[in-house]
Structure 1
Amino acid sequence: MSGVVFANEIDNGEKKSDFDEIEKIEITGSRLRSTDLQGFSPVQVIDSKDIDMSSVANIQELLLKNPAFGTPGISRTNSNFSTSSAGVATVDLRDLGSSRTLVLVNGRRFVSGVPGSSAVDLNSIPTQFIERVEIMTGGASAVYGSDAVAGVVNIIYKKEFEGLEFDLQTGQSQEGDSEETQIQFTMGTSSSDGKGNIMIHGAYTDQGAVYSRDRERSAVDQASQGAYFTGAAEDMFTAVRPFYSSYAPQGRFYAGDKQYTYNKAGELQEGWSTNGSDTMEANGFNRMDYRTIAIPTERYLLAMSGKYEFTEGWNAFMEGTYAATQTTTRLEPFPMASDAVYSASGGQMPLEYEQYIVSATNPGEYERTLVRNAFVPDAIFDSATDTDGDGIKDIFFTRRLSDIAARGNTADRDTFRIVAGIDGEITEGWYTDVYYGYGQTKESQVGSGQFNSLNFRSALEAVEDEDGNIVCRNADAVAEGCAPVNVFGEGSISPEGADYVNAPNMLTTFTSQTIAGVNVTGDLFEVPAGTVGLALGTEYREEYSRSEFDALQSSGLNGGNAIPRTEGEFDVIEYFAEVNVPLLDDVFMAKQLNVRGAYRYSDYSSVGKTDSWNVALDWAPIDEVRFRAIRAQSTRAPNINELYSPPSQTFPTGLTDPCLGVTATTTGAQAEACRADAGVMANINANGEFTLSQSDLQGISGYNRGNSELDAEKGKSWTFGVTFSPEGMSVIEDFDFTVDYYDIEVEDAIVSTPRQFILDDCYGGSGATCNFITRRAKDTGPNSAGSLEYIDSADTNSGGFVNEGVDLVVTYAKDIEDYDLVGQVNARLAYTHVIDAYTIPLPGSEKDQDKGEIGAAENKFYLSLGYTYDDLTIAWNTTFIGESYLDDQFLSGSDLAAESIGVGSVTYHDLNIAYRPWDMAEFYIGANNLFDREPPKIITGLPGSDTGTETDAGTYDAVGRRYYAGVRLKF
């Protein structure tokens, strides 16, 4: 990943003098065609050789090794629990979010793969069809439009390829899972007159699953002792193991003042011990038997590009991409509680049902009788009481629905994109291109393991009929096919009952993008230092998105999140101009001095008018040294989800209740705010201090909302850089050095206020966020009273982000025959040091420090070493992630200082060996994570822990050592 892109390097791969006269081209960061723009923008490049030597199936895997990228919002290893878009692959520059990283293909926008957002799914990009990827960091909205606040990732396809190339690869992890197959071909041909060329690329990739149970660190449910119990620093990374779920397949029944369950022999017993005790075996459930670390992903890809010179100097061009992707998630069966069915009656299931019969003594009257549930055991029935005063015995129960199905979903996504246009030379030195593009992504998702709560209620109310058969009590339900359900004991639900209550959930999404544009660039006039260049253009874009679950899911009647339909659209027309003015040329202390400026005006149907701009200075005092300075303002308009999402339910994790441990005499504003809640006070009165049960700790919900009144956010950035190419200096002449300082500040940022911030602000802070919090009522039991039920959050222009740091890139290439050795060596180092990074959740609030936290390490680097001798090439790549700390918001309210608790640095090594015995064949083998470096154990309950992985699987390698081998054939 080189540091500076030289126009001549991109053109033919050979380094020349910086100022050689060569063909003008356009590179990422500017619309101008020139040979002299390499100093303006910090651009790093991944080329096709890097891709070949990494043997990745998805370009995301290689991009994330670059230290400029943060933890992705979505990847194959951190999205198993997502209700939608699981397995999608996105990128995130500077840890500012995928929505602030603009992904382009051949310099133009690509349709989103995540409904309602701008995030491109890199599953839809054909990896081996890529010629290079140009990564520009810093604001670029003036050049490319909205979303380029953190930077641009420009993926450039191969051009004018001729011949036929095959690539076949297979591999798996050391544990025998994560099997991977890649089959790819590229073919191209040119017309006999050389005016036309067409290329076609096809690929099939299949990446297998990795299950939680197959890794020792995640094979058993566990929890952080410090997070859940003691709060002590030394206990944060100590696991309470097992820490099973209290929702078990055999059921847990609260009858009067007693609890019942079934032992492993299927016998009813009094008492309960989730994780086991000296007197009772564990009754809980190990969820890790079902969970997934890496989602299986299967892809079919087809790409094509072509051009034809229909008249001298004018070309018609077209490019197209089609991707069909299937992903499958898998997680434990549904944890059901009776309040999911009987929410209107306080969550209590009745054990008796009213029946009226004609009086034997007075035929004109009816007598009220009670009919007992046909399945309830005598011991539970006898212990049950009337909890709501209606004269009917009832109980509360929880049960893991293993009899029905494991949860999960299979999603089929189809992405199609086509762009066509013409380009050519209008007159000498002036060029234009006109294009039109359309893209769409469709998703069809079918999920399992949910239930129809209305049907479940009918099935639970089972009675004996006159013939002694057990039937559903409700005659209308029987007519509709109701089959009774027995929840007492593991495996007690009949297949017929399971079929009746089972409710497969479905999701359909549609996302479309229409783009059109006209660009003109050329030379305005000559000045003493050179030619003034100008680029002008206009672009139109229309975005539409629709996301809709089935009726039960939309209304929350299947036991899962209530996720209503989201639909919206917007369009924008934009005008931009860019100019480059050479000030000095080939004078003392100024081999070159240029200034460049760009401006973009945008008119959105959603947020109205916005503008973006940048000003850049490029100074080369001598041939070997160049300095650059860039000041930019970028904008990002809210996406469809941020504008139009209705309340959507979620189940957040990694939260600390500020009231935990508060007593009647605890002093301080935080304790006083806690005791003001009647439920919290009832809990304190019952337990001596505010106490939470395991199910309450694991049962927090909430709703996320969009906001149609949002405005565009603004990002302002500074970049200062220097490049040093020491030609003629014998010791270091084969090196190139690039250093860039960057400072990005996002104002009026669109944020969903973090839930831990909401809690901390409500209790002991300003109190402005208390209306987002709902606690359970005081009459819900001695432990559940006052526990957190809902913490809501909404999108507002109330946030701010800052990310400041330094990038260092060093490249080296040498033919070592000069040292009486053989072969060639090359090396590249990309290093990022974060000076400062923080979020401002609300105006006037304290900084939420991000620098150095897990997922945002202060220091990262990627080192690539290569050696080539004749037909043998060896590549050794090293990825370093510096020591990182727990989120400071997680530690707030405690006596623990920020950056006091964290994980050590992690280094990964990858090896690839390729041998080409003939011109038409290359064989290669390799290993990723060669030394099988385990990821840091970030235990359940700690921020950054991805469910099912026991680590931050978006940042660290959660799979382990992987081997692969393959062959490339060229004809």
Structure 2
Amino acid sequence: MAQDVQSTGDESVEARTLDNVVVTGSRIRRQEGVEGPTPLTVLDAEQIRASGHTEIADVVNQLPSLAYTQTDQTSNLAGNPGINALDLRGMGTQRTLVLVDGRRQVPSIPGTSAVDLSVLPSSLIERVEIITGGASALYGADAVSGVANFILKKDFDGLDASIRYGNSSRGDMASYSGDVLFGTNFADYRGNFTVFGFVEKQSDTVSGQDRPWTAGGYPFYTRANPDQRYGISDGNHNIYNSPDAQVILGGVHYAVGADGSLRAPNLGPGGYVNASPPNMADPAAALNALVTDGGEYGGRYDSWYLMVPSDRMAARASLDFEFSPALRLFASIGYSGTDSQSAARALSAYGTEMVPADSPFITAEMIAANGGPIAGGVNFARHFDLEAGTAHSEYRRRLLQGVVGLQGDFEFLSRPWNYSGYYSHGRTRQRVRAVDSIAHDRYLLGLDSTTDASGSPVCRSTLSDPGNGCVPINPFRRLGAQELAYLQYTSDWSSTTMTQQVLSAYASGGVFDMPGGEAKVVVGGEYRKERNDIGAIPQYDPGSPLYDPSIGAVQLPLVGDYSVKEAFGELYLPLLSDLPFASRLALDVAGRVSDYSTAGRTNTSKFGLEWAPIDDLTFRGTYGKAVRAPNIGEMFTARSVGGLWINDPCNSWNLEYRSDRTEYTAANCAVLAPSDVDTFWLWRDIISTGNLDLEPETAKTLTAGFVLTPRFLRSLTVTADYYRIDLRGAIDSFPAQTIINKCVDAPTLDNIFCPLVTRDADGNLFEIVTQKLNLAQYVTRGIDIGVHYRHDLTGRWGDKAGSVSFDTNYGRLLNRDYTLDPDAPDEVIQFAGTFGSPQWKGVSRLSWSNDRGGATWTLRHFSKMRNSSQITEEDYEKVWSGTMFYSNVSGWFRIGRGVDVFAGLNNVFDRAPPRIPGAEAGGANFELSYQAGVYDVIGRTYHAGVRISM
């Protein structure tokens, strides 16, 4: 699907100006065949079209240098569904810079620099250029791990239109799309006007219950005793995944029928399949832990989308006019929109919820089954899908961006120079609302039921506050209309606006002669200003008249902005040429100085060297310093409060069994002395806030490799490059549970984590604050390999024989290490070989085409992976997922002049995800949406359409 751009003499090198070439890796025009020291990968329009994907991110993510991140398959519960963003080297979308025609695109995720590729339909893209070394000095912040530059179709003359239909082989994911590109030249070809339009409808939903690998029970690791290795138990169903309440009375598990009467649970054929039977004397823990292999119990992912529905549209117009070679005007305006939604179970109880002992909903039958009065109350587990259905978060995004600029060629000091400058203004507006959600605080108040003076059911809170509107909840029967009306709500829309202004210009040309040729330089500057007006859902905002504290969620609006002034330069020095063992020797140096209104002054640099001892072989390398300043979301995030299930590392179970506790944990917990050490799961407030004390993060980057273009086989190009990125002081946040654990795992309670944890007067957890910190470290190393070959068959087999081509891009990940806490250097997470970070990842393409048709076979490959680096062969019987191959085929045929039909199949053999814990849902714990796009969870899909060109 991709190739490294080299001097192969074919159409793969497209960014040419006469006998010079300009590529993303540099702003300096170079002689054809001299691309510079920076590795560059290109996807062209033919490769994009052959993939059959309308989402360009689905094509680019197949490259080994990309890690799966925010896509339609991973964003259901990760937030911002429908956004497709890129993550080079697996270091985060915030460290990957996305350009459009070499210019910045307005961000799409509030508070970040992440660009939504959904606004760029694949049919609009001429090619994609990706560089992964020394990019920060060339293009500025956010390019720590590299740059992806999307070159759009423009200067088009004629009409190109297509319609397309796609679906899954199961018929549940229909999509319809159409696009049209029209352009015309005028003024004796000095001017061009091009317009483009695209619309796609993909509203079908595919949920966990729609695929056997997620509906048929999930696998997990288990063992009967500590002396055994963990094995995999598959086909598991938690008993809390039932529409009927599950209770434990007198140490016996019962189901509560729809009429409220007790009955025996309908278990799977294996009964309870827990390796170690849970303690039935602890109903809360047992209800959460009991597992069977079928019966009346549903799947873990039943209410979640495996692929978020997303409707898209885009329109774009561009104008180019040449007044003279020294003055060429370019302008463009684009408008796009995306409507998408996420889904989740509206309400579920996992066993920790309790109906109090004096509740009128506890029946005489329950008391009898318990063998007498019930102390405390009755714990229960169930879901409420039949009554409450599915909760949704709906997103509406609209992006408008305009660019106007000048470029041209001129002479300076009797040498050819060129310049380019532009002004860009963009705005993204995002609206969000919650639909059919459950107010969790109301739910807890409703469960706390008792009777009033007349013996009628009433909320306990109503006795002291008669007008509070609380409705008592009976979880042992189907919820009624009054209960649902009390619990459920649909919010008003929040509105967030992101604006970006960029003024940028540079000039480039020759300055003096050297033994190897003409030295060239680039000098330029850029000013950028970004502003985020991040809105809050009115019902969550205490400052809004619509604020509803009974929902239990708090969200504050935020206005954050920053500006940056930058100066940059690049110098190309051809040291030697046309000498023995020095066909070419050149040095490339680049630097950038940035002055942020928030983070102060930063400096980045790059040094590159290329040496061709002979024409057939070039060695290349770069070394650079990259800097990323904190973004608006990291610094200014407004205080928001949400709930989360957590556990106290000082509870009795954790003190005895938690595997990552330290020698200090017990002593620290003795000092805190929480009064409740028996309750495991706790629903507590999690407060998220920004950190104005953040500093820029710094990375050292290195690439070194070679390019082989043998003269005896001119259509062959082979590349191999080693890379290393060492990022220090990385801006990252600790999960709430990690903060709680690290507070008590440190040598003393006087550490950076304990101030973020609040406990009540009895020592019990009360609330936790999460914010970004400059603590983390990433070290990533690997090797990129590329092969491209093309052979013309017409000379031997005639004009209709066409040509064949073969492309392969492979990556070998040596290590991807992440240290969250520098005070604990031994706590390194080694991602290499885990889900989302295969040690080998590759994509190969074999194509044939002539002037009447063509066919392409694409093979994607992942090496074996495991759930985490903690899963070792010493402790686990089955560790690895096994090697995975996906085959895609596509073809086209010309049925008439300018009319083509095309079709394709993706995942031809309908490969199911592996049955390793987490892989069944796409690559990891799907409910956390972490790396869930590694394995295909949709199965075989197909597409077909018609294209008209004239």
* TM bucket, shorter chain: 0.7 to 0.9
Paired amino acid for 2:813: V
Cα deviation digits, residues 117-139 of structure 1 (max 9, x gap): 11111111122111100011123
Cα deviation digits, residues 344-393 of structure 1 (max 9, x gap): xxx876958xxxxxxxxxxxxxxxxxxxx6x6656679999898xxxxx9
Q: CA deviation at 1:798?
A: 1.2
Paired amino acid for 1:620: A
d(CA) in 1 for partners of 2:934 and 2:559? 32
Aligned to 2:487: 501
Q: 1:394 to 1:815 in 2, by over 3 A?
A: closer
Aligned to 1:93: 88
Aligned to 2:283: none
d(CA) in 1 for partners of 2:158 and 2:648? 60
Aligned to 2:322: 309
d(CA) in 2 for partners of 1:663 and 1:338? 22
Summarize the alignment of residues 313-392 of structure 1 with structure 2, pairs less than 5 Å apart.
313-335=326-348, 351=358, 377=363
CA contact (8 A) 2:218 2:300 kept: no
Q: 1:483 to 1:825 in 2, by over 3 A?
A: same
Instruction: Select 2:522's aligned residue among 525, 535, 541.
Output: 535
Aligned to 1:446: 433
Q: CA deviation at 1:952?
A: 4.9
**2:623 pairs with 1:626:** no
Instruction: Select 2:718's aligned residue among 723, 732, 737.
Output: 737
Aligned to 2:882: 904
Paired amino acid for 2:408: G
d(CA) in 2 for partners of 1:803 and 1:144? 21
Aligned to 1:914: 892
CA contact (8 A) 2:426 2:499 kept: yes
Cα deviation digits, residues 425-451 of structure 1 (max 9, x gap): 343622222211111211112222333
Cα deviation digits, residues 224-274 of structure 1 (max 9, x gap): 1439x867886454236111436x65556799x899976335233389899
Paired amino acid for 2:937: A
Q: 1:222 to 1:552 in 2, by over 3 A?
A: farther
d(CA) in 2 for partners of 1:233 and 1:703? 40
Paired amino acid for 1:66: L
Cα deviation digits, residues 475-529 of structure 1 (max 9, x gap): 999889x4845424332322x4422432224443222211111211122223343
Q: CA deviation at 1:716?
A: 0.9
Instruction: Select 2:161's aligned residue among 162, 166, 169.
Output: 166
Paired amino acid for 2:891: I
Instruction: Select 1:269's aligned residue among 248, 262, 270.
Output: 262
Q: 1:450 to 1:236 in 2, by over 3 A?
A: farther
Q: 1:102 to 1:14 in 2, by over 3 A?
A: closer
Aligned to 1:864: 845
Q: 1:950 to 1:431 in 2, by over 3 A?
A: closer
Q: Decide which moves more: 539-548 or 960-969.
A: 539-548
d(CA) in 2 for partners of 1:917 and 1:348? 70
Cα deviation digits, residues 573-610 of structure 1 (max 9, x gap): 10111111121122222222211111100000111000
Q: 1:962 to 1:789 in 2, by over 3 A?
A: farther
CA contact (8 A) 1:827 1:863 kept: yes
Aligned to 2:903: 925
Summarize the alignment of residues 184-223 of structure 1 with structure 2, pairs less than 5 Å apart.
184-207=179-202, 208-220=204-216, 222=218
Aligned to 2:790: 813
Aligned to 2:277: none
Aligned to 1:362: none
Equivalent position SS for 1:93: coil
CA contact (8 A) 1:7 1:25 kept: no
Paired amino acid for 1:314: L
Q: 1:465 to 1:672 in 2, by over 3 A?
A: closer
Aligned to 2:171: 176
Aligned to 2:707: 723
Aligned to 1:689: none
Equivalent position SS for 1:854: coil
Instruction: Select 1:412's aligned residue among 354, 379, 396.
Output: 396
Equivalent position SS for 1:331: strand
Q: 1:940 to 1:212 in 2, by over 3 A?
A: same
Structure 1 stretches lacking a partner, 5+ long:
341-346, 353-372, 388-392, 687-691, 780-784
Q: 1:562 to 1:138 in 2, by over 3 A?
A: farther
d(CA) in 1 for partners of 2:120 and 2:101? 12
Q: Decide which moves more: 767-776 or 233-242.
A: 767-776
CA contact (8 A) 1:22 1:35 kept: no
Instruction: Select 2:77's aligned residue among 81, 84, 87.
Output: 81
CA-atom RMSD, angstroms? 4.3
CA contact (8 A) 2:498 2:531 kept: yes
Q: 1:376 to 1:745 in 2, by over 3 A?
A: same
Paired amino acid for 2:692: S
d(CA) in 1 for partners of 2:943 and 2:697? 44
CA contact (8 A) 1:126 1:303 kept: no
Q: CA deviation at 1:676?
A: 5.7
CA contact (8 A) 1:334 1:449 kept: no
Aligned to 1:837: 816
Q: CA deviation at 1:616?
A: 1.0
CA contact (8 A) 1:739 1:807 kept: yes
Aligned to 2:754: 771
Q: 1:817 to 1:237 in 2, by over 3 A?
A: farther
Instruction: Select 1:795's aligned residue among 772, 781, 786.
Output: 772
Q: 1:232 to 1:802 in 2, by over 3 A?
A: farther
Cα deviation digits, residues 32-69 of structure 1 (max 9, x gap): 22326403211010011111111211000100111111
Q: Decide which moves more: 764-773 or 117-126.
A: 764-773
Q: Decide which moves more: 268-277 or 906-915.
A: 268-277
Cα deviation digits, residues 613-665 of structure 1 (max 9, x gap): 11111222222221212111111111112112245567889999798867879
Aligned to 2:311: 298
Aligned to 2:582: 590
**2:446 pairs with 1:430:** no
Q: 1:108 to 1:941 in 2, by over 3 A?
A: closer
Q: 1:668 to 1:745 in 2, by over 3 A?
A: closer
Cα deviation digits, residues 867-889 of structure 1 (max 9, x gap): 1245121101111111112322x
Identity %: 24
Q: Decide which moves more: 467-476 or 427-436.
A: 467-476
CA contact (8 A) 2:96 2:143 kept: yes
Aligned to 2:509: 522
Equivalent position SS for 1:851: coil
Instruction: Select 1:103's aligned residue among 77, 98, 102.
Output: 98
d(CA) in 2 for partners of 1:271 and 1:681? 41
Q: 1:896 to 1:569 in 2, by over 3 A?
A: farther
Q: CA deviation at 1:162?
A: 0.9
CA contact (8 A) 1:376 1:488 kept: no
Aligned to 1:35: 31
Equivalent position SS for 1:329: strand
Q: Please report the TM-score for the alignment, with normalisation by the length of structure 2.
A: 0.85
d(CA) in 1 for partners of 2:832 and 2:656? 38
Q: 1:135 to 1:442 in 2, by over 3 A?
A: same
d(CA) in 2 for partners of 1:29 and 1:605? 28
Q: CA deviation at 1:78?
A: 1.3
CA contact (8 A) 1:664 1:684 kept: no
Structure 2 stretches lacking a partner, 5+ long:
273-279, 281-289, 543-547
Aligned length: 908
CA contact (8 A) 2:425 2:501 kept: yes
CA contact (8 A) 1:179 1:209 kept: no
d(CA) in 2 for partners of 1:826 and 1:668? 52
Q: 1:213 to 1:2 in 2, by over 3 A?
A: closer
d(CA) in 2 for partners of 1:956 and 1:887? 16
